Amino acid sequence: MKTAITEMFGIEHPIIQGGMHYVGFAELAGAVSNAGGLGIITGLTQRTPELLAKEIARCHDLTDKPFGVNLTFLPTFSAPPYPEYIAAIREGGVKIAETAGRSPEQYMPALKAAGIKVIHKCTSVRHSLKAEQIGCDAVSVDGFECGGHPGEDDMPNMILLPRAAEELKIPFVASGGMADARSLVAALAMGAAGMNMGTRFIATKEAPVHDNVKKAIVAASELDTRLVMRALRNTERVLKNAGVERLLEIEREKGSKLQISDIHDEVAGVYPKVMIDGDMDAGAWSCGMVVGLIHDIPTVKELIDRIMVDAECLIRDRLTGFLGAESKASLKVA
Piece of 87-95, 104-112, 198-206, 244-252 that binds ligand FMN (CB under 6 A): 198-206
Figure out which of the listed residues 11, 20, 174, 192 binds ligand FMN, where binding follows CB under 6 A: 20
- Half-sphere CA count of 156, side-chain side, radius 13 A: 5
Figure out which of the listed residues 6, 72, 157, 235 binds ligand FMN, where binding follows CB under 6 A: 72
Q: Which amino acid is at 22?
A: Y
Q: Is 148 in the site for ligand FMN (CB under 6 A)?
A: yes
CB contact burial 53-89 (16+ within 10 A = b; e otherwise): bebbeebeebbebbbbbbbbbeeeeeebebeebbbbb
CB 166 within 8 A of CB 146: no
Q: Is 273 in the site for ligand FMN (CB under 6 A)?
A: no
Figure out which of the listed residues 6, 175, 204, 235 binds ligand FMN, where binding follows CB under 6 A: 175
CA proximity to 169, closest of 2, 1, 4: 4
Q: Report d(CA 37, CA 54) in Å as an integer.
A: 22
CA proximity to 175, closest of 247, 70, 30: 70
User: At closest approach, how far in Å is the CB of 307 from ligand FMN?
Assistant: 13
Figure out which of the listed residues 266, 285, 304, 311 binds ligand FMN, where binding follows CB under 6 A: 285
Q: Report d(CA 28, CA 205) in Å as an integer.
A: 9
Q: Report d(CA 157, CA 207) in Å as an integer.
A: 26
How many residues make up the chain in this entry?
334
Q: Is 80 in the site for ligand FMN (CB under 6 A)?
A: no
Q: Give 219-223 contacts, CB < 8 A, sequence gap 24+.
A: 220/287, 220/291, 220/292, 220/294, 221/291, 221/292, 222/289, 222/290, 222/291, 222/292, 222/293, 223/292
Q: Is 286 in the site for ligand FMN (CB under 6 A)?
A: yes
Identity of the residue, 111 or 290, whose beta carbon is nearer to ligand FMN in the bound complex: 290
Q: Is 176 in the site for ligand FMN (CB under 6 A)?
A: yes
SS3 52: helix
Identity of the residue, 62 or 73, whose beta carbon is nearer to ligand FMN in the bound complex: 73
Piece of 50-58, 243-251, 281-289, 295-303 that binds ligand FMN (CB under 6 A): 281-289
Identity of the residue, 76 or 256, whose beta carbon is nearer to ligand FMN in the bound complex: 76
Identity of the residue, 5 or 61, whose beta carbon is nearer to ligand FMN in the bound complex: 5
Q: Is 67 in the site for ligand FMN (CB under 6 A)?
A: no
CA proximity to 310, closest of 302, 298, 321: 302
Strands 225-228 and 236-239: antiparallel
CA proximity to 274, closest of 309, 244, 234: 244
Identity of the residue, 24 or 30, whose beta carbon is nearer to ligand FMN in the bound complex: 24
Q: Is 21 in the site for ligand FMN (CB under 6 A)?
A: yes
CB 58 within 8 A of CB 20: no
CB 194 within 8 A of CB 16: yes
User: At closest approach, how far in Å is the CB of 162 from ligand FMN?
Assistant: 18
Piece of 56-64, 105-113, 165-173, 197-205 that binds ligand FMN (CB under 6 A): 197-205
Count residues contacting ligand FMN (CB under 6 A)?
A: 29
Q: Is 23 in the site for ligand FMN (CB under 6 A)?
A: yes
Q: Is 89 in the site for ligand FMN (CB under 6 A)?
A: no
Q: Is 177 in the site for ligand FMN (CB under 6 A)?
A: yes
Question: Taking CB under 6 A as the rule, which mask of x and - marks residues 107-146 in contact with ligand FMN?
Answer: --------------x--------------------x--xx
Figure out which of the listed residues 32, 118, 122, 287 binds ligand FMN, where binding follows CB under 6 A: 287
Kindly report the CA angle at 184 between 180 and 190, in degrees rounded to 5? 145
Residues that bind ligand FMN (CB under 6 A): 18-21, 23, 42, 70, 72, 100, 121, 142, 145-148, 175-178, 196-200, 285-288, 290
